[in-house]
Amino acid sequence: MATSSTAAPPASPGHPAGHAALVRDLQNALGAAAVLHLPEDLIAFEYDATIERALPEVVVFPATTEDVSAAVRIAEQHLRPVVPRGSGSGLSGGAVPLTGGVLVVLTKMNRILEIDRANRVAVLQPGVINLQLQEAVAPHGLLFAPDPSSQRVCSLGGNVANNSGGPHTLAHGSTVNHVLGLEVVLPGGRITRLGGRLVDAPGIDLRGLFVGSEGTLGIVTEITVRLVRAAPAVRTLVAVFDSVEAASEAVSAIIRRGIIPVALEMLDREIIRLVEPRIHAGYPLDAGAVLLIEVEGLAEGVDADGAAVEEACHLAGAREIRVAHTAAERDRLWEARKVGIGAIGAASPAFYLLDGVVPRTRLPAVMRGVMETSARYGFRVANIFHAGDGNLHPNLMFDPDEEGATARVLECAEEIMRLCVDAGGAVTGEHGIGLEKRSYMEWIYSPADLAAMHAVRVAFGGAERFNPCKVLPGGHGCASGHGAEAMAAIRRGSDSV
């Protein structure tokens, strides 16, 4: 990557008025090395893990909360929007700077500040990687329950922004259930704290409101999280089924018995055939689907729950059930789940990952609809998802160089998301709304609901200055429609409101 010079660039037709002054002020406040503005530097920050693309005007790398505050203040003085970014592994276009502006990259704020073993609390900066925290607290017999499948690369700041989940949040809950307090930078550069070190802090729960706000209310600069004790006993099972429908029926059968596994994941035939040759976890290549199930607790309870789970799976049609007998076997089974998305990426020129939610009892019908819809559009689909809480992740594989393929994959995705909503579900379970799904918000929220959400933005002072054109449909200068469609419209200079 090229190194930005200390001199601000001259004004050019490719930049808004005042660009040179903006760069100069940011360099003076944060240092020249922390500010990128050259085209060859900016191109690395035009995307996240989606198909969305947009270039920022300037990228800054703050090292402290005060740096973040200064960057926000300077951006506002120059009437530029601010977009926070962590590792860039988001799956909704949330970190894509659709309207340009200042991209605040938090990867240098990556220190674990405190691990309080006695009170089961950790304090850390937003750039800390999820797995880094897990590895730091494991020697103390503790863990941070939310574990997104991207935990090797995703940052805790991004987890907070999107209220991320993961395979082990079926029983433990998602990120919001484990964040106790936040230090945040609000519009105008004001620094404040929300929540604290207690599970039930008095007053309005602004901490809970901030978690999942996707950078539209402010920027998180410090996170206080709740840790939980590692379970004394764990049992990991794989149930093999001939069809996705049978595996889906087993999910409801397990929950009906009053058992809430700590994880209940499904992999279908397509994904098994992609990951098994890479990992050799022992998943049968001829299986229609497998359920990866984990129960934890005291040894006696794990034995009882494990037996009940096996019985439920057999009655639902499982042809085989395997139990991991060693830590190595357990790790290999989970490795196959964790690398699933990477395996899809290696097998297809591109893929489009969805994030719908449906009631568990509607899983068989919705999964049939997913397969029928993708087949009708001519796309291969691989399903790997959190079956226990009905959080679907169909992956539509396509070639973006094929004429019309991107438009068709977006149409197919919209139909699948509509299936989820019509089944009584929602348009996201853990990836966030971002740019990608904001046009779907009108499917599940009334105009009054959406107006109330916008009023919250106004109350925090951000309105359209913080991560504009994200989460809510419409907005000043924001095109309508799906993320990729809206971006194309803005580039054409049409269809704006």
CATH number for the domain that contains residue 253: 3.30.70.2190
State which of 105, 140, 173 marks the end of a domain: 105
State which of 183, 208, 229 marks the end of a domain: 229
pLDDT at 482: 60
7 three-class SS = coil
Largest CA distance in the chain: 72
Q: CA 307, CA 240: separation in Å to the nearest integer?
A: 16
Q: Are residues 203 and 240 in the same domain?
A: no
Q: Is 411 part of a structural domain of the chain?
A: no
Q: Is 429 part of a structural domain of the chain?
A: no
What is the secondary structure of 248-288 as a DSSP string? HHHHHHHHHTT---SEEEEEEHHHHHHHHHHH-----TT-S
- Integer CA distances (angstroms), 215 to 56, 82, 454, 481, in order: 16, 9, 14, 21
- Integer CA distances (angstroms), 56 to 79, 80, 356, 433, in order: 14, 11, 29, 20
Number of domains in the chain: 4
pTM higher than 0.85 = yes
Q: Are residues 247 and 271 in the same domain?
A: yes
Q: Is 359 part of a structural domain of the chain?
A: no
Token pair listed for 208: 């809970």
Q: Is 417 part of a structural domain of the chain?
A: no
Token pair listed for 430: 């853990």
Q: Is 70 part of a structural domain of the chain?
A: yes
Q: Is 355 part of a structural domain of the chain?
A: no
Contacts with 305 (C-beta within 8 Å, 6 or more apart), sequence order: 235, 259, 261, 295, 297
Burial code (b: 16+ CB inside 10 Å, e: under 16) for 149-161 equals bbbeebbbbbbbb
State which of 184, 208, 229 marks the end of a domain: 229
pLDDT at 486: 54
Q: Which domain holds residue 31?
A: 19-105
pLDDT at 494: 41
Q: Is 325 part of a structural domain of the chain?
A: yes
Q: Is 32 part of a structural domain of the chain?
A: yes
The torsion defined by the Cα of 75, 80, 81 and 85, in degrees rounded to 10, comes to -50
Task: Of 106, 161, 158, 95, give the one whose Cα is nearest residue 435.
Answer: 95
Alpha helix positions (H), 2-89: 19-30, 39-42, 65-77
pLDDT at 8: 47
Ranges of the chain whose pLDDT falls below 70: 1-14, 476-477, 479-497
